[in-house]
């Protein structure tokens, strides 16, 4: 069977990095990457909007051997799809009926891609992206507290029992949760030794090293006069 071609529209150290990590896990380097200059507003250009009307990254373009093209827009869907598309990599429990192992894996993958993501995104929006007169300190304080008091204890209980988020083996869910723990640490969260130990383990994976090799080019603060700040609506 001929493998589809994959192209990732990416900006360093954002949610697209977790997809890049997963692509390296399953394909090594056999995929294409195109950088989308978010601060210059490339995500608002017509060609990009025709693929991704949400004007963000990642976008994963999948070209099938018969020429059909699909664009995935949600990083959780991309990671799930890739894990299931390459079962020989053993990055996801098999989709067996009523498998509790599979259920737990999906729960943590989507916990990372939804609840964790939402809180961290609100912090990024209000601390780094909105114009000063639109930032809400109450929102920042509320979501910092929610993460520390609700998210961290759930993760800590798991890491006290097992080295990875779903047990003794690394899974695709770690691409989501691992990225989010790094993201959280950038905001002063997940500072305990147990989180440092977890990141130490996942960051030794060759696919992780490749996925985050460009992370130093990430700009946390939008430059003055950035197209993103002028057009950003949260």
Q: Are 32 and 87 found together in one domain?
A: yes
Are residues 112 and 185 both part of a single domain? yes
Query: 53: which residues sit within 8 A by CB, 6+ positions away?
Result: none
| Residue 73, C-beta contacts closer than 8 angstroms, at least 6 positions apart | 52, 54, 58, 59
Find the domain containing 141 and state its range: 100-205
- Judge if the upstream peptide bond of residue 85 is cis by omega within 30 degrees of 0: no
Model-level pTM?
0.95
Same domain, 46 and 81: yes
Beta-carbon count within 10 A of 158 CB: 19
- For residue 12, the domain's CATH number is 3.40.30.10
Structure confidence by residue, pLDDT tens digits, 23-58: 999 999 999 999 999 999 999 999 999 999 999 999
Give the chain's end-to-end CA distance (angstroms, integer).
42
For the segment 162-200, what is each residue's pLDDT rounded down to a tens digit?
Answer: 999 999 999 999 999 999 999 999 999 999 999 999 999
Domains held by the chain: number: 2
Are 29 and 104 contained in the same domain? no
What is the token pair recorded at 48?
């990009």
């Amino acid at each position: 069977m001929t493998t589809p071609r994959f192209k990732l529209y990416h900006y360093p150290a954002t949610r697209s990095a977790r997809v890049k990590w997963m692509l390296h896990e399953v394909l090594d380097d056999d995929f294409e990457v195109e950088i989308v200059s978010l601060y210059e507003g490339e995500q608002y250009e017509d060609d990009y909007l025709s693929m991704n009307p949400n004007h963000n990254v990642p976008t994963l373009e999948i070209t099938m051997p018969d020429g059909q093209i699909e664009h995935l827009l949600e990083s959780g869907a991309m990671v799930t799809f890739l894990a299931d598309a390459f079962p020989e990599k053993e990055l996801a429990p098999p989709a067996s009926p009523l498998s509790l192992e599979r259920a737990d894996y999906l729960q943590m993958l989507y916990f990372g891609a939804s609840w964790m993501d939402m809180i961290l995104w609100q912090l990024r929006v209000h601390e780094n992206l909105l114009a000063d007169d639109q930032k809400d300190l109450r929102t920042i304080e509320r979501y910092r507290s929610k993460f520390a008091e609700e998210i961290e204890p759930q993760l800590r209980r798991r890491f006290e029992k097992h080295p990875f988020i779903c047990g003794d083996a690394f899974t695709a869910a770690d691409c989501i949760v691992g990225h989010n723990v790094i993201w959280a640490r950038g905001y002063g969260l997940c500072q305990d030794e147990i989180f440092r130990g977890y990141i130490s383990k996942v960051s030794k994976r060759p696919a992780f090293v490749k996925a985050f090799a460009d992370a130093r080019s990430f700009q946390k603060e939008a430059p003055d006069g950035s197209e993103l700040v002028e057009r950003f609506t949260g």
